Amino acid sequence: MATINLVEELQKPVPFSGPDMPDDELLRACVHCGMCLPSCPTYRETGDEASSPRGRLWMMSAVADGKLSLLDPDFDEQMYQCLNCRACEAVCPSGVQYGPLVEASRAQLEQHRPRPWWQQLLRQSVMSWPFDDVRRMRTGARGLRLYQQSGLSRLLQRTGVLKLMRLENLERMLPPIEESPLAPGKDTWVPKAKLANAHVFNGCVMSSVFPDVNRATGRVLAHNGYATDVPVGQGCCGAIYSHTGMLDDARVLARKNIEAFERAGDGAIVVNAAGCGSALKEYDHLLKDDPRYADRAKAFTARVLDVNELLDQQPLIPPTHAINARVTLQEPCHLVHAQRISAQPRSLLRQVPGLELVEMQESSLCCGSAGIYNITRPKMADALGDRKARNAMATGAEAVVTSNPGCQMQLRTSLIRNGSEQPVEHIVSILDEAYGGRTATGWAIDHQ
Amino acid sequence: MQSSRGLNVSETVVIESPAHLADVLADATAHRIAILPIGGGTCLSTGLPTNEHYRALDLSQLSGIENYIPTDMTASFLAGTPLRTVRAALAENGQELPIDLASDDEGTIGGLVATGYSGARRYGQGTLKDVLIGCEYVRGDGLLAKAGGMTVKNVSGFEVSRLLHGSWGSLAVLTRVNLKVLPRPKADRTFVWQDSTLAAALDRQVRFLTSFPGCIAMETTGCGDRWTTAIRFAGRESALQDYQLQLSNAEGTPDAVLDEWPLPPSTEDNPCLVANNPVEQSRGFALMLSTHQGVNALSISLPTGTVRAELDSGLVAAREITTHAEGLWMIEGGDPDWKRDAAIWGPGRQDIAVAQAVKDQFDPGNILNRGRLFI
Amino acid sequence: MSNRALIDDLVRVCGPGGVRHRLADLMVFEADGSVDGAVKTTLPQAVVLPTSTEQVAGVVKIARKHGVPVVARGAGTGLSGGAVAINSGVIISLTRMNHVLEVNLLERTALVEPGVVNLDLSTHVKHQHLFFAPDPSSQKASTIGGNIAENAGGPHCLKYGVTTNHILGVEVVLPSGDIAWFDSNQAGYGGLDLTAAIVGSEGMFGIVTKALVKLTPIPQSISVILAAFASMDDAAMAVTEIIASGTMPASLEIMDQLSIEAVEAAYHAGYPTDAAAVLLVEVDGHPLEVAEISADVEALCRRIGTVQYRQSYDPVEQAALWMGRKMSLAAMGRLAPNYYLQDAVVPRSKLVQTLDEVDRLGRASGLPVANVFHAGDGNLHPLILFDRREKGAVERVLELNHDLVVACVELGGTLSGEHGIGSEKRDHMPLIYTESDLRAMAGLKRSFDPDDFFNPGKVLPAGLMCGELKDLHMQRMAQKHGIVAF
């Protein structure tokens, strides 16, 4: 008798429990109408409803109702197959907040699911080490640069060691790194006629891999009247942690950033990485239960603007240099879905003389980058990357424009894999070129 | 015993009501009596000649407008209502069916639905299937039933009504049809051009197809070196004048501008081959090509007195043309002796097994139009 | 274990990547757009994701061999519990068969696979200035195959007709596992228009694996008109007069005050909240004609006494005018957490009377009811608002729904205009059909599927497909006519 009870006990579905449970109110908002299905990249790719937002919400409800175990491997699979691109939120007629729900489900899995040692190790090495400190990330990036130049890269690619370490995708995505990163507290850009202050959010990947984009951001903002600086004390936005259910780690970083930008004084917090922007705009939700930081998070969130958003608040100061080229726009998920910024980049590109914007099919479907998704799930990421590359190539555009470093890297890899030479540019780099680039006048760098 | 267009009719029953019809058909099924439903009797020359002795059904008593509310744009007619009556009643309220009905048409509305007749306006406005919203019918085995209703949209239950459209009375006898009616356009105009070759006429049609998608009908008719291509528009006068201007700019001044669509001559007594899908050459026969969406109807008229060898070669031509285009064809009218051996219902059908199962279900005694039809 | 054997057989046809059989993967196929509690679903034994007609046929044969029923499914956006399993079995999800195979510009047709999303087809042919006319509200997600199964409608079917008017032929996998092509052109040509029977058969006759569909030219000019009225009677009169004036707008939509309030609270669409009804009219066609008709509509609306009138030819402004209507369901969240969407149709002349009845019944039940509807074709969409967490709420909703259906039927209406019967409205069928009507429909089903193997338990009330009833008519006829031979 006792044995049978034990068996039953073991078979009982494991429910959600402990901190960061998916909010029941949010979960019940879904009326399973299915309107989200085609917006979802993994559903588009697989045609399987288990891989759709409705399917995943249905599973979450089943766990909440005790009909499915939290530890069911298929539940785990789906919670992590999701790119958290939030495309479903943008189309949901019932306004279901999918992002917080999937993040909470992942937090539940992190709390309750025993992981094999090698996965833990991998996660620690990929996740914790580089991102929790920007300096370390940068050191890592410098190391990678050395590694790229040394020929070790090719050797390792050939031997397949990277594949074994599941790092080959990270390797493939890295562009050659040429510039040194911005110096927080030192680099500033002073406009001729000041309109307002702007504080650049440096970002881990952006500052390490695309420091030139951050510089271009400073220049373009200065052209348009913003006295721009890079506040000291800021760090990683924490998106990587909140997306993988490591909410407490994300909170630590959030508090640090709030403090840094409070010290920086008034003015917009400008982000040129859509993924970071969307994370910063959710600090209020992340810290809603923190009595010391809840209000400060709200105030912080209200100041955050994506660079597209800020620049398109009024017509651009007319760019001086024509760019005679056709470009196509790839919309980062965390810009178009999470932040609902879609018209602004188009409006900005239209103001560049000579530039022609050709729309690609599925411009707002995830490219497969999604934070570290392309490292952890290369197969799905590659499939989505190929799809995006095909759509981009079909436009015949000479360059692809986007505004998120993850997308930039993923697009570049995907285009190369599909035999395309199309360069991938951040929208700010395009605008910067239209103002004459580094050699332009009309503003001044003030190196303190 | 009387003969009706080569069909032997041993007796005629005047149908008084749907319930009466149900009894007649149940009895006929029980005794395996072949039934010939007759509406206006205009299509009796179509079909295979048979040696059956039919009990004919005179459906003319089932006549009348049952429910017509003009602002609902729906109307319900008993199946034996003459088309003249239908046309007049609708016209009085500025409405019409999307099909050209001649004022002297002898047919009935039930017959029109049962035969699936469609004219040139099928291109822009579809067939009666598109406006058929419900019906009442008696199956071959005598079951009296209805499907659909009087609402213009209805997905309650299976689409029996639309299945009966064009089924030539092989499954059931209609007793009532419910139709969605349309407002009559303020103006209706047809522009006509002449060409000396069929190829030129067909080129013209292709240009119309690509440049004037808003037209409601398009047709090429002719023979030898006289080909007429007509394009028709309906709507407000201002739009029609603009279409005329555009057409004249593109195609030159039309050879004729008509306020009425030239209805094709009756093919009652001539064998007439009607086929679906395009044709490349006329093989010397008089020919009419109506372009519809996804289907082009080709009629070949063979004059009375055509010798048998010519009829046969006409049939071979039709077969070649339609087989090439994966189309269907049928022969209307014609000499019974000749029709006996000609495949007048066109090529074999790959869905015959299902069609036969449906037939067996509706008409288990195989009494309805026995021997005349494809199934 | 027989389930194991079934799965193994299915994997042989669809490959391991094309078969789902574990709990979490199966349970998501119990979801569709119908309201919780209205449909009793069961977990399917397996879900397959075939990529070809041959695979579909193979799956059907295997299911037959194992004696389990088959349910075909598109995107699962249906509102009537049609594409869910209620007797277990195999669900065939057709979402991977999503290719536009051919577009014929001259004939203006497209050959498509059933999993093509409705709006994707229109996007695909947009550059050719064509579109697929049926536009159900779910068109961003629902598939052509699903639209065919339900004979889907939409706001623009007033002028362009419902799905059945746009399907020229279908390739189907039959319950025997055989593959057949049904050509609608057989109507009148001596055969049967079996396509007509397939459209709207809710997956009970055959599984559509290809469809030849009509494409419609994008109109040269479109005019969108918003007219607000102080009473529902005025709005309905405007509809009647527009119809009577001999014009056929592309769509005629009405929203009542409760819907307007919800939309304004949520989206600030600029609809006047003090109006009792907002009428949206879309007119399309030749630019001169559209201008004339728009002027006529304006004149008659002003004569009746519109309290706000807006008209636009600009696509951006038009989208703004339509926004309130398009977002009306979403906006209901402002009034209550859940809604039940009703789909009855009444003759247009009975609209006002029906709305009064809806109002009366809603008040009696204590549940708020908002109305957003296709006024041009009498298709009502009363939205019963409720909170499903309240005890007994779903039961009260279903009860009110029943009363609404009865009221509509008494006014000459029908159960469903575009959402289908499925398992959800199945037991309402005797309200509009006699036993004979239903038996004839069951007969049609049997001629395609004698063993009740495809999507069993839908559309026809329980008992109609069983053997006893099947021969009842024959027995009666035999008694009456004294013949027992057939």
Q: pLDDT digits over B327-342, tens only?
A: 777 777 767 777 777 7
Distance from CA of B16 to the nearest CA of C (A): 19
pLDDT for B6 beyond 90? no
Phi first, then psi: what are they for A304, rounded to 5°? -80, 130
- Tell me the one-letter amino acid at C157: C
Helix and strand counts by DSSP (H, E) for chain A:
27, 10
Contacting residues of C for A55, CB less than 8 Å apart: 28, 31
A49 to C29: CB separation less than 8 angstroms, yes or no = yes
C28 to A93: CB separation less than 8 angstroms, yes or no = no
The CATH number that applies at residue C40 is: 3.30.43.10
List the single best residue of C20, C28, C385, C394 to mutate versus A (max A Cβ within 10 A): C28
Residue B185 DSSP symbol: P
Per-residue confidence at A119, pLDDT binned at 50, 70, 90? low
Q: Among A54-58, A88-92, B62-66, C64-68, name the one with the lowest average pLDDT.
A: A88-92
Contacting residues of A for C77, CB less than 8 Å apart: 33-35, 37
Q: Where in chain A is the domain with CATH 3.40.50.1860?
A: 325-434
pLDDT tens, residue by residue, C84-132: 999 999 999 999 999 999 999 888 899 999 999 999 999 999 999 999 9
C375 in the same domain as C290 = yes
pLDDT for C342 beyond 80? yes
C129 in the same domain as C152 = yes
Residue pointed to by tokens 């991938």: A424
Half-sphere exposure (Cβ direction) of A260: Cα atoms closer than 13 Å? 23
Which of A28, A34, A91 is the closest to C77 by Cβ?
Answer: A34
Helices (H), ranges, chain B: 18-30, 83-92, 109-115, 122-125, 160-164, 198-211, 237-251, 308-324, 336-341, 352-362
pLDDT for A77 beyond 80? yes
Contacting residues of B for C189, CB less than 8 Å apart: 116, 166, 274, 276, 328-330, 345-346
Angle A11-A15-A20 from CA coordinates, rounded to 5°: 155
**Beta-carbon count within 10 A of A121 CB:** 11
A31 to C141: CB separation less than 8 angstroms, yes or no = no
- Tell me the one-letter amino acid at C153: G
Tally of residues, chain B: 375
C28 to A55: CB separation less than 8 angstroms, yes or no = yes
C351 in the same domain as C237 = yes
Strand ranges in chain B using DSSP code E only, listed in sequence order? 2-4, 7-14, 35-38, 53-58, 65-69, 74-78, 95-96, 132-139, 144-148, 172-180, 182-183, 187-195, 217-223, 226-235, 256-258, 272-276, 286-292, 295-301, 329-332
CA dihedral C267, C271, C273, C274 (to 10 degrees): 180
Half-sphere exposure (Cβ direction) of C181: Cα atoms closer than 13 Å? 13
Which tokens is A318 given? 């007319």
Given this structure, which CATH class describes domain A188-312? mainly alpha
Instruction: Report how far residue C231's alpha carbon sits from residue C306's, in angstroms, rounded to the nearest whole number.
Output: 10
Chains touching B (at least 3 CB pairs under 8 A) are C
Q: Among B237-251, C8-22, C464-478, name the one with the lowest average pLDDT.
A: C464-478
Contacting residues of B for C459, CB less than 8 Å apart: 157-158
Where is pLDDT greater, at A232 or C37? A232
pLDDT for C15 beyond 90? yes
Confirm whether C418 is domain-assigned: no
Chain centroid to CA A2: how far? 51
pLDDT for B347 beyond 70? yes
Q: Among B347-361, C168-182, C327-341, name the one with the lowest average pLDDT.
A: C327-341
Picking from A169, A203, A254, A140, the residue whose alpha carbon sits closest to that of residue A404 is A203
Would you call A351 helix, strand, or coil by DSSP? coil
Confirm whether C486 is domain-assigned: no
- Distances in Å between the Cα of A125 and the Cα atoms of A153, A165, A173, A248, C77 are 19, 10, 18, 18, 43
Where is pLDDT greater, at C323 or B84? B84
C313 in the same domain as C169 = no
Distance from CA of B212 to the nearest CA of C (A): 10
pLDDT for A140 beyond 70? no
Distance from CA of A394 to the nearest CA of C (A): 14
- Tell me the one-letter amino acid at A236: C
Per-residue confidence at B291, pLDDT binned at 50, 70, 90? low
C345 in the same domain as C283 = yes
Instruction: Report how far residue A224's alpha carbon sits from residue C345's, in angstroms, rounded to the nearest whole number.
Output: 58
Do strands B65-69 and B74-78 pair parallel, antiparallel, or not at all (unpaired)?
A: antiparallel
Rg (CA), chain B: 21
> Do A248 and A265 form a contact (C-beta atoms < 8 A)?
no
Q: Which residue of C has its CA nearest to A24?
A: C389
CB pairs under 8 A between A and C: 96
Q: Which residue of A has its CA nearest to C115?
A: A47
C27 to A58: CB separation less than 8 angstroms, yes or no = yes
List the single best residue of C192, C441, C458 to mutate versus B (max B Cβ within 10 A): C192
Biggest distance spanned by C-alpha atoms of chain B: 67
Do strands A355-357 and A325-329 pair parallel, antiparallel, or not at all (unpaired)?
A: parallel
The CATH number that applies at residue C182 is: 3.30.465.10
Angle C143-C212-B214 from CA coordinates, rounded to 5°: 100
CB pairs under 8 A between B and C: 299
Given C93, C119, C139, the domain boundary residue is C93
Tally of residues, chain A: 448
Q: Which residue of C has its CA nearest to B373?
A: C190
First to last CA, chain C: 43
Q: Give the structural domain span for C462.
A: 427-481
* Average pLDDT taken over every residue of chain B: 85
pLDDT for B199 beyond 60? yes
DSSP string, A189-220: EEESS--EEEEE---HHHHHH-HHHHHHHHHH
Picking from A280, A398, A277, C164, the residue whose alpha carbon sits closest to that of residue B130 is C164
Across C293-308, average pLDDT? 96
What pLDDT does A208 receive? 82
Q: Which residue of C has its CA nearest to A32?
A: C33
pLDDT for C340 beyond 50? yes
B71 to C482: CB separation less than 8 angstroms, yes or no = no
What pLDDT does A289 receive? 92
* Average pLDDT taken over every residue of chain A: 85
Phi first, then psi: what are they for B142, rounded to 5°? 95, 5
Output b/e per residue, C319-345; b: 16+ Cβ within 10 A: ebbbbbbbbbbbbbbebbbbbbbbbbb
Biggest distance spanned by C-alpha atoms of chain C: 74
Per-residue confidence at C207, pLDDT binned at 50, 70, 90? very high
Instruction: Report how far residue C125's alpha carbon sits from residue C131's, in angstroms, rounded to the nearest whole number.
Output: 6
Residue C143 DSSP symbol: B
Residues 6+ apart with CB under 8 A from C331: C259, C262, C263, C265, C266, C267, C324
Instruction: Report how far residue C74's alpha carbon sits from residue A374's, in angstroms, rounded to the nearest whole number.
Output: 29
Phi first, then psi: what are they for B290, rounded to 5°? -100, 130
Contacting residues of B for C440, CB less than 8 Å apart: 139, 143, 145, 147, 160
Which of C31, C33, C329 is the closest to A58 by Cβ?
Answer: C31
| Domain residue ranges in chain B | 1-184, 187-258, 272-339
Question: Residue B188: beta bridge partners?
Answer: B234
Given C37, C60, C93, the domain boundary residue is C93
The CATH number that applies at residue C387 is: 3.40.462.10
As a CATH number, domain A325-434 is 3.40.50.1860
As a CATH number, domain B1-184 is 3.30.465.10
Residues 6+ apart with CB under 8 A from B247: B191, B212, B231, B254
- Distances in Å between the Cα of C25 and the Cα atoms of A240, B88, C233, C454 are 27, 61, 50, 22
* Average pLDDT taken over every residue of chain C: 92
> Does the CB of C196 have a partner CB in chain B at under 8 Å?
yes
> Do B241 and B307 form a contact (C-beta atoms < 8 A)?
no
- Distances in Å between the Cα of A99 and the Cα atoms of A23, A106, A288, A337, B130 are 11, 11, 16, 11, 46
Given this structure, which CATH class describes domain B272-339? alpha beta
- Distances in Å between the Cα of A272 and the Cα atoms of A173, A185, B80 are 19, 18, 75
C117 to A33: CB separation less than 8 angstroms, yes or no = no
pLDDT tens, residue by residue, C447-458: 999 999 999 999
pLDDT for B280 beyond 60? no
Would you call C256 helix, strand, or coil by DSSP? strand
A47 to C23: CB separation less than 8 angstroms, yes or no = no
> Do C267 and C324 form a contact (C-beta atoms < 8 A)?
yes
As a CATH number, domain B187-258 is 3.30.70
Instruction: Report how far residue A255's alpha carbon sits from residue A241's, in angstroms, rounded to the nearest whole number.
Output: 14
Where is pLDDT greater, at C307 or A136? C307
Q: Which residue of A has its CA nearest to C327?
A: A93
Do strands B272-276 and B295-301 pair parallel, antiparallel, or not at all (unpaired)?
A: antiparallel
Same fold, B187-258 and B272-339: yes
Phi first, then psi: what are they for A402, rounded to 5°? -150, -175
Given C166, C185, C217, the domain boundary residue is C217
Q: Could you give the number of structural domains in chain C?
A: 4
pLDDT tens, residue by residue, B114-153: 999 887 888 888 899 999 999 999 999 999 999 999 999 9
Instruction: Report how far residue A95's alpha carbon sits from residue A84's, in angstroms, rounded to the nearest whole number.
Output: 16
Per-residue confidence at B15, pLDDT binned at 50, 70, 90? very high
Which tokens is A349 given? 């590109």
pLDDT for A130 beyond 50? no
pLDDT for C177 beyond 60? yes
C324 in the same domain as C442 = no
Residues 6+ apart with CB under 8 A from C46: C3, C6, C7, C10, C19, C20, C21, C26, C90, C91
Instruction: Report how far residue B242's alpha carbon sits from residue B232's, in angstroms, rounded to the nearest whole number.
Output: 13
Residues 6+ apart with CB under 8 A from B150: B67, B72, B74, B76, B133, B134, B178, C347, C412
Angle B72-B75-B78 from CA coordinates, rounded to 5°: 160
What pLDDT does A150 receive? 44
Q: Which residue of C has its CA nearest to A70?
A: C24
First to last CA, chain A: 78
Residue pointed to by tokens 């001086």: A320
CA dihedral B116, B119, B121, B126 (to 10 degrees): 10
Which is it for the CA torsion A132, A134, A138, A144, positive or negative? Answer: positive
C23 to A74: CB separation less than 8 angstroms, yes or no = yes
Picking from A267, A269, A288, A285, the residue whose alpha carbon sits closest to that of residue A277 is A269
What pLDDT does C77 receive? 95
| Topology of domain A10-112, CATH | Fumarate Reductase Iron-sulfur Protein; Chain B, domain 2 (1.10.1060)
What pLDDT does A158 receive? 45
Across C40-49, average pLDDT? 96
Which of B158, B167, B352 is the closest to C441 by Cβ?
Answer: B158
Contacting residues of B for C289, CB less than 8 Å apart: 235-236, 238-239
Where is pLDDT greater, at B372 or B164? B164
Q: Where in chain A is the domain with CATH 1.10.1060.10?
A: 10-112
What pLDDT does A115 receive? 67
A33 to C33: CB separation less than 8 angstroms, yes or no = yes
Instruction: Report how far residue C415's alpha carbon sits from residue C406's, in angstroms, rounded to the nearest whole number.
Output: 9
